[in-house]
Structure 1
Amino acid sequence: MVVYDLKCAAGHGFEGWFRSPDDFQTQCDDGLLSCPVCHSVEVLRKPSAARLNRGAQSKMVPASGHAASSAHRAQVAMVKAFQHFVDRNFENVGSKFANEARRMHYGEAEERNIRGQATHDEVRELHDEGIEAQPLPIPSPDTDKLN
């Protein structure tokens, strides 16, 4: 498994996981890779830091467990705060997201903050119509399964 930092022609950065370097190249050549923000298929691999071989005498110094766990806790807290903000300030329209976004865009419904689910094709169609829609980096809870 290889992980690459990628960038689209518009400069949006994202990460991709591939079985092998050849798998990345094949997907790129076949137009199967697209930017999650703007859906551009012009995707390039960003340069990554080179691995330095310093010989057998050199030993790697492990990262401080305290610093790493502290940074992780801060990230988790930030994601939870973001999710709480979205939950409190955006109406969940569920699978009707694309339709509701269109209705607001064309003046058929009151403009408001909404969230919900949309397929990749629906998001692309919204963008083609000039309607902004952004995927959120947080899972959307299945409200049907909540107590």
Structure 2
Amino acid sequence: MIRYALRCEQGHDFDGWFRSSDAFDTMRSAGHVACTRCGSATVEKTLMAPSVPAKSAAKPAGNPVETALAALRQQVEANSDYVGLKFADEARAMHEGRTASRAIHGEARPEEARKLIEDGVPVAPLPFIPRQKTN
């Protein structure tokens, strides 16, 4: 996993974790990398110092970040319903009381996510792409 320091067009700084440099480029090109504050999909990498552990601090086999992400994915998938590209509609309907509240996860375009946040709908991005495909 690679941690990048990122900045959106509005100047908001945030971090993102990616499987590789190519994964970052692919996700950004597809519009899946967005500012955590304003939802802007115009995001660039910024300068950052690499994290190089000393030999004595070398970690044993097994990446703890990957382990934590796998555990989070398992928890989310086991305890929520995947609603695919209907995420924004489902989250808004629950927030407005038009449907019963339940734990959901899915996909939303950056502008949809930004609108949900602006309207006070409690949502948060997940650090992984859902396994399910809607098409």
- TM class by smaller structure: 0.5 to 0.7
Aligned length, in residue pairs: 113
% of aligned pairs identical?
A: 31
Q: How does 1:41-56 map to 2 (within 5 A)?
A: 48=48
1:5 aligns with 2:1: no
1:99 corresponds to which residue? 89
Deviation, 1:48, is 4.8
Which consecutive residues of structure 2, in runs of 5 or more, have no partner in the other structure?
A: 17-32
Higher relative contact order (CA 8 A, sep 6+): 2
1:139 corresponds to which residue? 129
Q: How does 1:68-147 map to 2 (within 5 A)?
A: 68=59, 70=61, 73-143=63-133
Query: What is the CA deviation profile of residues 34-92 of structure 1, one whole-angstrom value per residue up to 9, with x for unaligned ones?
Result: 96212177x9x98855xxxxxxxxxxx9853992453x522221111110000001111
Q: Supply the AA of the counterpart residue of 1:39.
A: C
Which consecutive residues of structure 1, in runs of 5 or more, have no partner in the other structure?
A: 16-33, 50-60
Give the structure-1-normalised TM-score. Answer: 0.58
Shift of the 107–141 alpha-carbon distance from structure 1 to 2, 3 Å rule, reads same
1:14 corresponds to which residue? 15
Helix, strand or coil at the partner of 1:133: coil
